[in-house]
Chains A and B, each alone.
Chain A
Amino acid sequence: MLGYVIKRILLMFPTMIGMSIIAFFIIQLPPGDYLTSVLAMMADSGQTVDPAEIARMRQVYGLDDPMIVQYWKWISGILLRGDFGYSFEWGRPVSELIWDRMGATLGVSVAALVFVWAVSLPIGIYSAVRRHSFGDHFFTFFGFLGLAIPNFILALVLMFVSYKYFGQSVGGLFSPEYIGAPWSWGRVGDMLTHLWIPVVVVGTSGTAALIRILRANLTDELSKPYVITARAKGLPEYQVIMRYPVRIALNPFISAIGWVLPQLVSGVTITAIVLNLPTAGPLLVRALVSQDMYLAGSFILLMGILTLVGMLISDLLLAALDPRIRFT
C-alpha cells in the first residue's frame, strides 16, 4: 500500500510539468498578446499610441522573447519564489488575486460534493432496492429534471425565490456588509445563507448523474450470490444491503471527488457569473478574454494541480475501500 502511494505521488510530478507546459502554451495560442488587446481597446476609444512606446512595453514585459524563455521565467518564478507573475489587467501580482478565488472555489466544490453525496446516496440506494416503485419513478423524474434544466436558469430561479420569499441579498458568497470583513461567526452564518444557492445549483446535475450510476451499479450487485450468502447468514435486510452490495457499488462516489472540481471550474462558469460568485471561473474568463496571460496561466495551472490532487485522493480512498484495487 505504501509503495502504491509513493508511486502515485511520484507519477504526479511528470503530469504536473506536462500540465504547466500545456497551460502556458494554450494561453499563448490565440494570436496577439495583452498589448494588442490593449491597443485594440485604445483604438476603439480613439486614442493613438506611439509605436516606440509599444515596443518599449513589449521589451519590459518580455513579450518578444521566445515562448520557451517566457515559460521558463514564469515557471521558475513559481517554483523558486512562489511568484506567479504580474497581472497586466489588474496591475497587481497574480498571487494577490488568486488565493481568495481559489479558496472560494475549493469551498464551493467541497460543499457541492457533500451535497451531492448526501442527496444521491440514500436516493440511489432506495431507487435500486425498490426498483420500479413509485418512489423510484418519482426520484428518477426529478433527477432527470435536474439534469435537464440549465444551471443558470436554476440559479436565476433560486435567486428570485431567495430574494422574494426569504428577503436575502442575493448573489456572491457574502452580504455587502461582510465583504472584506474579518472572519467571525456572523460572517460564517452569512456565508452559509448564501452558499446554499450555488451548492444546490452546482449539485443538482451531479446528483442526478450519481443517482443513476449508483442505481445501475447497485442493481447489478444486488443479484450477486454474495448478497444471498449474507442473507443466508441471518443478517437483517438493512445490514445485508448496506454492508455488502452498497459497499461495492460505492466506488463511483469516491471517483466523484476527482471530477467535481474540474466540472465546477469549467462547467459552471456561467452559473458563477450569474450568481456573482467570487470563484475562479469568472476571473479566468476575463483573463482569457483580455489575454492577461500570467493570470490565466496560473489559474489553469492551479486548477490542474487541484484536479490532480483530487484524483489522487479519490484513488487512494478507492484503494483503501476496495482491496481489489489495492492488490492489483
Chain B
Amino acid sequence: MTQLSLSRDGARPTAAPAPTALLSVRNLSIDFHLRTHILHAVRDVSFDLLAGRTLCLVGESGSGKSVTARALLRIIDPLAKVAGGSITLAGPKGEVRLDRLGADSREIRAIRGARIGLIFQEPMSSLSPVRTIGAQIVESVRLHRPMSVADAKAETVRLLKQVEIANPEQMADRYTFEFSGGMRQRAMIAMALACNPEILIADEPTTALDVTTQAEIMDLIKRLQVERGMAMLMITHDMGLVAEVADEVAVMRWGRIVEQGAVDDIFHAPKDAYTRTLLGATQRLDRASTRAAPPTDGPPLLSARGLTKAFGKKSWRGKTTFALTAVDHVDMDLWPGENLGIVGESGSGKTTLGRMLLRVIEPTSGRVLWTPNAAQADSTQRDVTAMGRAGLSEYRRAVRLVFQDPFASLNPRMTIKQVIADPLIVSGTLTKGQITDRVAQLLSLVGLDPTAMERYPHAFSGGQRQRIGIARALALDPQVIVLDEATSALDVSIRAQILDLLLQVQAKLGLSYLFIAHDISVVRYFCDRVVVMHKGRIVETGQAEQICTTPREPYTQALVSAVPNPDPRDKRMLHRTRFVAP
C-alpha cells in the first residue's frame, strides 16, 4: 500500500498554491457478501481528491474501481458492505464522514448530486427512457436548489447550452432515445453539474463512445472542470485516456491500489510490475504491424463493387422513402492472407458493410464478388449477390463472422461443444465422434483446454468467450473471418492476447481477416491495409502504417489525432485536428 499523500507531492511543475484535499479516502475496504463466500472487492484503498485536479483510477474489469467510486456516494449494491476505512468530505461547515451516514439518510442525499456529481459509462441506459431529458435535469436542479419550475427549466436550458447541445430549448423536451450516444453523455454531464458539485466522479464516461466523440466529451469535461475548479475522480481502463487527462494516477488490481503517483511518474517510471504490463499492452498496440503484407497483385479473394444500402423509412401509409444511405457505392478488395481494417465512427456504415459482404443484409444495389480459388491464382469469380440458397451456404462456410459482444453472442443454454459444433452439424459432413475430435482440436487451436467443452458460456471470462467465438468461426475452415469490433469489449491486455491469437491462427491456416473497428490504434497493430469510412462512403484507403502516421484526407487526420496517446508528455487528443464536415 502506498501511503503517498498526493497533496504534499511537491514535484509537480504547476505554480498554483497547494490545493486542499476535498475528499480523503483512507484504508477503504468493501466486501461483497455472496451466498457462498465473502468477496473482498476493495482492500485498503486510500487517495485524496484535490480541487481542480484529476485523479485517474485505472484497472481492468473486476479490479474494484467502480465499486470504490460508488462507495463514495454510498450507492453500492446492497450485497456490498463497507468493511472498514473512512471517507471524509471537507467542507465549509467542517468535515463530514460519509462512511458513517446511512445509505438513505437526509445528510447523504444532500451531498449526492449537490456536492458530488456522478457520470456513468452507459449513456444508453443511464437516463430514464420514459422521461424527457429536461424533466430529469429539472428534477436534479430542484432537489438541491430552491427554485420555481420555470426557473429550473431556464437553468436546464442554460446547462444544456453549456455542454454544447444545439437548440437546448427544443432538446430539453426530447427523450433519450432521440439523442445520439455523445449527446446523451452531454446531457448526463449537464445533469451531474446541475448543482455545481465540488467533486465530479466520471465512471468510464467515454468507453461506449467512438474516438472522436470521446475526444469531444473529454474536452468538455476538462473545460468545465477548469471553469469550476472541480476535483475529478475519473475511472477508466484506457491508459491512453489516462495520459491525456490525469494529474495523478492510481492503478488498481484485485481490489488494491498497486501503484499511485503523478501521471508522468506512472508512465515514465513505473515501479510496479502490473503497471508495466498494463502500459506494455497499451503501447504494444500503438505500434506498427511487424508482419509482411501479402502480395496484392493476384486476383482478390473478396470484392465489393458499388455496394449500396439504403434503409427505408416507412410512412404510415406504408410508402417507403429512402431516408438513410448507410453504405454508399463502396468498392473494396480483400486479397488472400490479408488483414483489411474498416475504420469509422459509429454510424459510418462499417457494420452494415460487413453484414452485406456476408449477405446477412441484402444490398440495395451493387455486387459482392467471391473468388473461391484466389490463393491458387484462379480468377473464376462468383457473384455472391446473385447466389441462391445452395451457393450461399457454400459461401457462408468460407466467410464467417465474429461478433463484438462476447456475452451476447453465445447462447447461454448451449455447452461450448454445442456452440462450436453447431456449424459442423449444419454442414452435416462429420460423424458424432469426428465432431467431438474437431471441437477439441479447435479449442486447443484458440488456446483453451479441450476438457472445457462440456461447460456453459457463463463459466468463462470475456476474453475466453471471445476465443470460443473465434473457434466457432474457424470450425468450417473458412477463407475469410469478418471481425466486427471483435476486441472492443475487452480489456487492453486481453485485447492484445486475442489479436495475437488471431495472427497465430492466420499464420497456421492462411486466412484473411476483415477487421471492423472504431479504434484506429488496434488497426495499426493488426491490419495490412485500412479503409476509412465516413457517412457510408470510403474516404481513404491505404497501407495501415501510412493511414495511421501520415493520413492524407482531413477526416482521417481528425480521426487519427483523436486517439488518445498513451504518453502524458505528448497529449495528442487535446491538441487534435478537428474535422468540419464540408
Identify the closest chain A residue to B177 (Cβ): A324
Residue of A229, A244, A321, A322 contacting most chain B CB atoms (<10 Å): A229
Say whether A317 faces chain B, with CB atoms less than 8 Å apart.
no
Q: A78 vs B104: C-alpha distance in the bound complex, in angstroms?
A: 62
Say whether B175 faces chain A, with CB atoms less than 8 Å apart.
yes
Please pick, from A232, A248, A327, the residue contacting B113 in the complex, using a CB distance under 8 A.
A232
B175 touches A229 (CB 8 A): no
Tell which of A117-125, A175-183, A234-242 binds the partner: A234-242
Tell which of A81-89, A137-145, A159-167, A220-228 binds the partner: A220-228
Minimum distance in angstroms from B356 CB to a CB of chain A = 24
A248 touches B316 (CB 8 A): no
Tell which of B137-145, B277-285, B550-558 binds the partner: B137-145
Which residues of chain A are within 8 angstroms of B121 by Cβ–Cβ distance? 225
Identify the closest chain B residue to A324 (Cβ): B129
Residue of A231, A234, A236 contacting most chain B CB atoms (<10 Å): A234
Say whether B81 faces chain A, with CB atoms less than 8 Å apart.
no
Q: A243 vs B73: C-alpha distance in the bound complex, in angstroms?
A: 20
A244 touches B128 (CB 8 A): yes
Task: Tell me the residues in window 91-132 of chain B with beta carbons closer than 8 Å to chain A beta carbons.
Answer: 104, 109-114, 117-118, 120-122, 125-131
Measured as residues with beta carbon below 8 angstroms from the partner, the interface class of chain B is 20 to 34
Q: A243 vs B140: C-alpha distance in the bound complex, in angstroms?
A: 13
Say whether B228 faces chain A, with CB atoms less than 8 Å apart.
no
Please pick, from A231, A234, A243, A323, the residue contacting B129 in the complex, using a CB distance under 8 A.
A323
Task: Tell me the residues in window 283-328 of chain A with beta carbons closer than 8 Å to chain B beta carbons.
Answer: 321-324, 327
Identify the closest chain B residue to A240 (Cβ): B104
Which residues of chain B are within 8 angstroms of A323 by Cβ–Cβ distance? 129-130, 175, 177
Say whether B217 faces chain A, with CB atoms less than 8 Å apart.
no
Minimum distance in angstroms from A9 CB to a CB of chain B = 13
B70 touches A234 (CB 8 A): no
Q: A83 vs B412: C-alpha distance in the bound complex, in angstroms?
A: 59
Interface residues as binary, B58-100 with A (CB distance below 8 Å gives 1, 0 otherwise): 0000000000001001010000000000000000000000000
Which residues of chain B are within 8 angstroms of A327 by Cβ–Cβ distance? 175, 177-178
Which residues of chain B are within 8 angstroms of A228 by Cβ–Cβ distance? 70, 75, 118, 120, 126
A226 touches B128 (CB 8 A): yes
Which residues of chain B are within 8 angstroms of A224 by Cβ–Cβ distance? 125
Q: A323 vs B112: C-alpha distance in the bound complex, in angstroms?
A: 28
Identify the closest chain B residue to A244 (Cβ): B128
Say whether A247 faces chain B, with CB atoms less than 8 Å apart.
yes
Chain A contact residues, majority secondary structure: helix
Residue of B109, B126, B128, B140 contacting most chain A CB atoms (<10 Å): B128
Number of A residues near B (Cβ < 8 Å) is 24
A229 touches B118 (CB 8 A): yes
Q: What's the count of A-B pairs with C-beta under 8 Å?
A: 77
Q: A233-B112, A234-B109 are in contact. Are A247 and B178 (CB under 8 A)?
A: no
Say whether A19 faces chain B, with CB atoms less than 8 Å apart.
no
Q: A235 vs B118: C-alpha distance in the bound complex, in angstroms?
A: 14
Say whether B191 faces chain A, with CB atoms less than 8 Å apart.
yes
Say whether B304 faces chain A, with CB atoms less than 8 Å apart.
no
Which residues of chain B are within 8 angstroms of A232 by Cβ–Cβ distance? 73, 75, 112-113, 117-118, 192
Which residues of chain B are within 8 angstroms of A244 by Cβ–Cβ distance? 128
Interface residues as binary, B155-189 with A (CB distance below 8 Å gives 1, 0 otherwise): 00000000000000000000101100000000010
Which residues of chain B are within 8 angstroms of A231 by Cβ–Cβ distance? 73, 75, 112
Minimum distance in angstroms from A122 CB to a CB of chain B = 19
Minimum distance in angstroms from A283 CB to a CB of chain B = 41
Say whether A230 faces chain B, with CB atoms less than 8 Å apart.
yes
B120 touches A225 (CB 8 A): yes
Q: A265 vs B400: C-alpha distance in the bound complex, in angstroms?
A: 53
Q: A225-B120, A247-B128 are in contact. Are A3 and B316 (CB under 8 A)?
A: yes
Identify the closest chain B residue to A321 (Cβ): B130
B139 touches A229 (CB 8 A): no
Minimum distance in angstroms from A30 CB to a CB of chain B = 40
A7 touches B316 (CB 8 A): yes
B75 touches A237 (CB 8 A): no
Minimum distance in angstroms from B75 CB to a CB of chain A = 5
Minimum distance in angstroms from B412 CB to a CB of chain A = 16
Minimum distance in angstroms from B224 CB to a CB of chain A = 17
B130 touches A248 (CB 8 A): yes
Minimum distance in angstroms from A303 CB to a CB of chain B = 30
Residue of A228, A233, A248 contacting most chain B CB atoms (<10 Å): A233
Q: A323 vs B129: C-alpha distance in the bound complex, in angstroms?
A: 8
Minimum distance in angstroms from A313 CB to a CB of chain B = 19
A233 touches B104 (CB 8 A): no
Identify the closest chain B residue to A7 (Cβ): B316
A234 touches B128 (CB 8 A): no
22 contacts between A and B (CB under 8 A): A225-B121, A226-B126, A226-B129, A228-B70, A228-B75, A228-B120, A228-B126, A229-B118, A232-B112, A232-B118, A233-B113, A234-B112, A234-B113, A234-B143, A235-B143, A237-B104, A243-B131, A247-B131, A324-B129, A324-B177, A327-B175, A327-B178
**Chain A residues in contact with chain B, CB under 8 A?**
3, 7, 224-226, 228-237, 243-244, 247-248, 321-324, 327
Which are the 6 A-B pairs with shortest beta-carbon distances?
A234-B112, A234-B113, A232-B118, A233-B113, A225-B126, A234-B109
